[in-house]
Amino acid sequence: MQPTLLVLAAGMGSRYGGLKQLDGVGPSGETILDYAVFDAIRAGFGRVVFVIRREFEDAFRAQVAAKYADRVLVDYVFQSLDALPAGCTPPPGREKPWGTGHAVWCARDAVREPFAVIGADDYFGRDAFKKLAAYLSKNQNLQRSAFAMVGYRLAHTLSENGAVSRGVCTATVDGALQRVVEHTGIRREDVGAGPGKKFTGAEIVSMNCWAFTPALFTTMNRQFTNFFEIHGGALESEFYLPEAVSRQIAVGEADVKVLPTTASWFGVTYREDKPRVQAALAGLVANGEYPGSLFPKP
């Protein structure tokens, strides 16, 4: 089975100031998402499933996904506020869906094969997709909860323009992930050597770049139902994917291998990040890592 790439693209980019999934940053106007899909295709992924919001479906199909239609199978899943377990309803005043774990949960009926999960906002690098594809090709037992996570060094994932949230990982000496703890408000000045620093920068963090089998959904369905029973009345609560996986590890329901990568990570958390991302991508094109135009029109 060729693996599927599940792309979490429902975020509206509130901090960025627009729908950043449609913002061109490559030399020929490519989005960051274009680079992820390009890397996935050449790593051997056979299908891409986008988790999006229905209100920007037409724009997304026309401006992003149409470029891939003749190169890879493309499907869609919709994340919405009322996509909830049977009998559950969102509280009055709630405006946004329930986070990255909820986005993955929404794809439970659309993905039946080994799959990777990424966010649409981030550049993960070719090496990350090669490692994901290699791992998934060796783990074809759909009922086995043997997962993996691509790990990046914290110092290589920070923005120069504001605070970020990162899932800091604890792993054993053989590379088995023990847990992921979400830390919010991490700034570049918090990281490094010396007194008063919260992190060294060498910590391995989760950038939501995962490899799963469909066995994930069985446990996640129960987890999300329990989460909603406890936190469903809160207007800002979120069901985070890293925390859901961490809980599965803690109770012995999943084994997760950390796949360290040499790939450079960068993203557009803030609009001020865009020039740096453009320069980085231009450098990769100049070095021959990518063609000047990823998906040229016929």
Share of the chain above pLDDT 90, in %: 52
* Least confident range of 139-143, 205-209, 280-284: 139-143
d(CA 138, CA 129): 14
- What does pLDDT average to over the chain? 88
Q: Which of 26, 64, 29 is nearest to 284 (CA)?
A: 26
Tokens 């029109």 locate to 297
CATH number at residue 27: 3.90.550.10
Does residue 51 fall inside a structural domain? Answer: yes
Convert the pLDDT of each residue in 216-230 to its tens digit: 999 999 999 999 999
Instruction: Provide the whole-model pTM.
Output: 0.90
Does residue 297 fall inside a structural domain? Answer: no
Contacts of 75 (CB under 8 A, 6+ apart): 47, 48, 49, 50, 110
pLDDT at 42 > cutoff 90:
yes
Does residue 197 fall inside a structural domain? Answer: yes
- Residue 194 to residues 47, 188, 189, 201: CA-CA distances in angstroms? 46, 13, 11, 12
Does residue 124 fall inside a structural domain? Answer: yes
pLDDT at 11 > cutoff 70:
yes
Report the pLDDT averaged over residues 280-297: 93
**What is the predicted pLDDT for the residue at 69?**
81
Does residue 202 fall inside a structural domain? Answer: yes
Tell me how many domains the chain contains: 1
Contacts of 33 (CB under 8 A, 6+ apart): 7, 9, 21, 64, 120
Does residue 293 fall inside a structural domain? Answer: no
Does residue 21 fall inside a structural domain? Answer: yes
Does residue 205 fall inside a structural domain? Answer: yes
Helix (H, G, I), strand (E, B) or coil at 250: helix
**Residue 64 is part of which domain span?**
4-286
Convert the pLDDT of each residue in 255-283 to its tens digit: 999 998 877 788 877 778 889 899 999 99
The HSE-up count of residue 212 (CA atoms within 13 Å, CB side) is: 28
d(CA 210, CA 223): 18
CA 135-139-145 angle, 5° bins: 110
